[in-house]
Structure 1
Amino acid sequence: MYQWSKSEERLNRYAGRLEGESLSFLVYYWGSVRHLTANSLHRHSFYEICYVDGGTGVYMDGDQTYPLYEGVAFCTRPGRLHQIKDVDSLNLLFVAFEAMERPFAQEVTMKYVEALHRCAVWTEHAGDSPAIQIWKSMLMRSEPEASLPASLLPKLAHVLLQSLPVLLGASGSFESAPLFSSALQLIQKAKLYIRDNLSRPVSLPELAAYLNVSERQLSRLFAESIHESFSSMVRTERIRAAELMLQHTRDPIKVIAERTGFSSVHYFTRLFTKFKGIPPAAYRAKWTLEADHQE
């Protein structure tokens, strides 16, 4: 019924940066995988929401385990050690993302993230929900003429991500959620400051001074809230920005390396290859080939 791999490629091509009037999202990746294999224990620095469209498995979140079967939706919060195991023909839809704060809509963004932070880790009978129906509508059908046009994907994806707190049981809507905790707010501000200054070196003392906290307090905040060090976060943000530029610009590799704060093309190439498994030039060529194939 669905073209799973092509659906994944098309969503990653057209629904990466989702702009809205008050809420905007950055999607790190979409997934639509048949017969997913088990994975090892790992953590993310972002939210990942999954829906089981068939098969079975077990999801581990910290020291808790949850059964996976058709109709189950589950959420991985930033910094949580988690794993999918004991799978049997597991078909999974998933999206990894974060909300992007806008100066004129900070309160709405913070309430949305707080709602996500309060929602259930696991819920069943999600298949008939509006959110999952929207999600499935974005997949490519076996008959290409039955698929929605790619031009509709950004809007539908935005609606889907906006509805996820409700899907996972957040009471009411995020509009009425309490404000962000101070720790989460500081982490969000730290990420935004790093992103705004990627083209130059950013130090921990500089960031701490900007946030009006001590270096020790900031380091502890990173370790306890997202289980990531300051240097690791900066590196992650540089790779993320470079990946987006490789996808959506024709800028030379040297220019991308400079704009994302790498000291040399050689260092950029080595680090990008280490984390993405493919050199920058080859990544761009692969992305362009897949994009052209979808159009």
Structure 2
Amino acid sequence: MIQDSVNKEFVVLHTGFAFHHADWNFSNVCSPFTRLHYVKSGNARLIHGDKIYEMKPGYLYLTPAYVTHGYACDGILELYYIHLYEQPGERQRLFDRYRFPVEVKAQPYDMQIIRRLVTINPGREILQYDPRLQDKSSLTSKNISRFQQHPEASEMENSGILRQLLSRFLLEAQPLHQQIDNRIETVLQYIHNHSNETIAIDTLAESCHLSKDHFIRLFKNELHTTPARYIIRKKIESAQLRLLINQEPIATTAYQLGFENISYFNRLFKKETGISPGTYKNQMKNSGRRTKFNP
């Protein structure tokens, strides 16, 4: 079927055009989706950790999911925005495999294809002015639902445009794990494919034909974190995305990700995100009721 032939790796959550006049000033923004901006005119600053990027006309800017960042604007700024998320699949997420540059110069026709993306995705403009609330808006889950019913031709065009834009960054991206041990690469793939299950460190070690202690040392040497810490981080990231997309009960989210103890899941979620899953869910519900003008 044609439907099966369309690659739906990336989904457009929001896209549109924004005009700011010294009113795009936010810190500690962190979302479970990726943000891509194209500056048409004006200037602003994009803050990633201790690095500040001066946003300039004719450039593209990329902020992957779960990256804490901020914005500062003290004048006029016109830009196009695209919020997207990478669907789970058989392979690791693209953003788990590469370290992408934040800023690249756009191709001469990039603004035209971005305009086209906005045109074929009507009604996906953001309604929340504060970017910290955009990932919690009920519009986001509606857009996910709308995506399921989007014409296949439009989804194919969406995919083509997103791939073109992301390829600008991929040209300068660096693999996150240079010459990673094949055994650990296989383990990462296993974790990715089984995030909805309880993953035992003993099982991972056995798959590498290593003792548990040897496996943990090898994993930490390759990824600079322990396997247990890595698994927890990936599960909580999946939980954030599930709560964003499905707006399902917290218990359902926990069970679907292999947690049998809800209290334990709640503690881990708060440790990773700074807020409890209940607070996160309430923020989604409450912010969805707010009416704010499009930026």
- Specify the TM-score bucket, using the shorter chain as the normaliser: 0.5 to 0.7
Alignment partner of 1:136 out of 115, 118, 121: 118
CA contact (8 A) 1:58 1:68 kept: yes
Counterpart residue identity of residue 264, structure 1: N
Q: CA deviation at 1:159?
A: 2.5
Query: CA 1:116 to 1:282, structure 2 compared with 1: closer, same or farther past 3 Å?
Result: closer
Separation in 2, partners of 1:51, 1:187 = 37
CA contact (8 A) 1:29 1:96 kept: yes
Q: CA deviation at 1:98?
A: 4.5
Separation in 2, partners of 1:94, 1:51 = 9
Q: Secondary structure at the match of 1:39?
A: strand
Aligned match of 2:256:
259
25-34 or 155-164, which deviates more: 25-34
Separation in 2, partners of 1:222, 1:273 = 23
Q: CA RMSD in A?
A: 5.4
Query: CA 1:184 to 1:47, structure 2 compared with 1: closer, same or farther past 3 Å?
Result: farther
Separation in 2, partners of 1:198, 1:114 = 14
CA contact (8 A) 2:6 2:155 kept: no
Counterpart residue identity of residue 165, structure 2: L
Percent same amino acid among aligned pairs? 16
Aligned match of 2:81:
93
Q: What TM-score does the superposition give when structure 1 sets the normalisation length? A: 0.56
Query: CA 1:26 to 1:217, structure 2 compared with 1: closer, same or farther past 3 Å?
Result: farther
113-122 or 50-59, which deviates more: 113-122
Separation in 2, partners of 1:220, 1:237 = 19
CA-to-partner distance for each residue in 1:202-254, whole Å, 9 max, x for gaps? Answer: 2445435435684323213223xxxx653343223323433454466686543
Q: CA deviation at 1:73?
A: 0.1
Aligned match of 2:219:
218
1:69 aligns with 2:56: yes
Separation in 2, partners of 1:46, 1:219 = 27
Aligned match of 2:281:
283
> Which one scores higher on RCO, CA 8 angstroms, separation ≥ 6?
2
CA-to-partner distance for each residue in 1:18-55, whole Å, 9 max, x for gaps? Answer: x9748552669757675432535x99999654323444
Q: Secondary structure at the match of 2:171?
A: coil
Q: Secondary structure at the match of 2:218?
A: helix
CA-to-partner distance for each residue in 1:86-136, whole Å, 9 max, x for gaps? Answer: 43355462435447553xxx7xx99x7799768784214666445423433
Query: CA 1:116 to 1:263, structure 2 compared with 1: closer, same or farther past 3 Å?
Result: closer
Query: CA 1:212 to 1:256, structure 2 compared with 1: closer, same or farther past 3 Å?
Result: same
Aligned match of 1:238:
235
Separation in 1, partners of 2:115, 2:7 = 21
Q: Secondary structure at the match of 1:183?
A: coil
Q: Whose helix fraction is larger, Structure 1's or Structure 2's?
A: 1
Aligned match of 1:7:
none
Separation in 2, partners of 1:212, 1:55 = 57
Q: What TM-score does the superposition give when structure 2 sets the normalisation length? A: 0.56
Aligned match of 2:9:
25
